[in-house]
Amino acid sequence: MYQTTIKKSVELVGIGLHKGSPVKLRLEPLESNSGIVFYRSDVDVSIPLIPENVVDTKMATVIGKDGHVISTIEHLLSAVYAYGIDNLRVVVDADEVPVMDGSSASFCMLLDEAGLIQLDIPKKIMRIKKEIEIKEGKKYVKLSPAPDLKYDFTIKFPHPVIQKQELTLELTKDSYKKEISRARTFGFLHEVQYLRSKGLALGGSLENAIVLDEKTVLNPEGLRFSDEFVRHKILDAIGDMCLIGMNFIGNYEAMAGSHDLNHKLTLKLLKDADNYEIVELVGAKTAELEKAYA
């Protein structure tokens, strides 16, 4: 199995969640061993996708370099990760990735339009060798060794629509597209009102997020899944784990996980080389590992 990139450049225009302005997003092919690289065309700054370039995790995963940032990268990266793409240039002309409908479905459609192509260097994946955990109170995120790739997420909210939701997903491209990609980000009306008072979430609307008041969902079309909330949390986690720099084999588990906990988990994982091994997907012995990224 070899490294991949997209066959052709593709682009779209969408609204930025926080500033509410149009953002042009363009995806371009890159050669082997290039990794995922973001580029701000408006300020001519490239930002490689590495944990050290993460500058904020409070409301989204934000990367930055030389004082220039790109926010809300996790939904796009979630799709990129699920498609097993190793090398890609992401070009935006503003400081955030467009939010689209609040899920990653539009990015999956864009990647389907671009198509994938194999390159000339074997694909590398990371096999988790030790259990790694970040815990803060009752919240935690954890990676553990396993022969496959699963995401196991639990959330609890004191809201009648959400309450406790749990989901375990064996991640493949197909399972991601069917079960995860359409799950939208969500927020509470009082939070949206507060953020707007601070000049944030100006692009947020019922068109690109699930919004809840104290009792119910305000979106007239309702939910796409009865447990759409925990499905979106898995979507976010997949995107955040893209910061590792390659696909991995192992189990991810979270209780009330967040962008911040995920970032700390990637840093802890990469800090000690004994936590993992890098495997080149060549030969019959790697056939089982390849299934997740076929």
Active site residues: 259
Residue type at 119 in one-letter notation = L
- Cα distance from N-terminal residue to C-terminal residue, the chain: 9
- The Cα 130–Cα 144 span in angstroms is 6
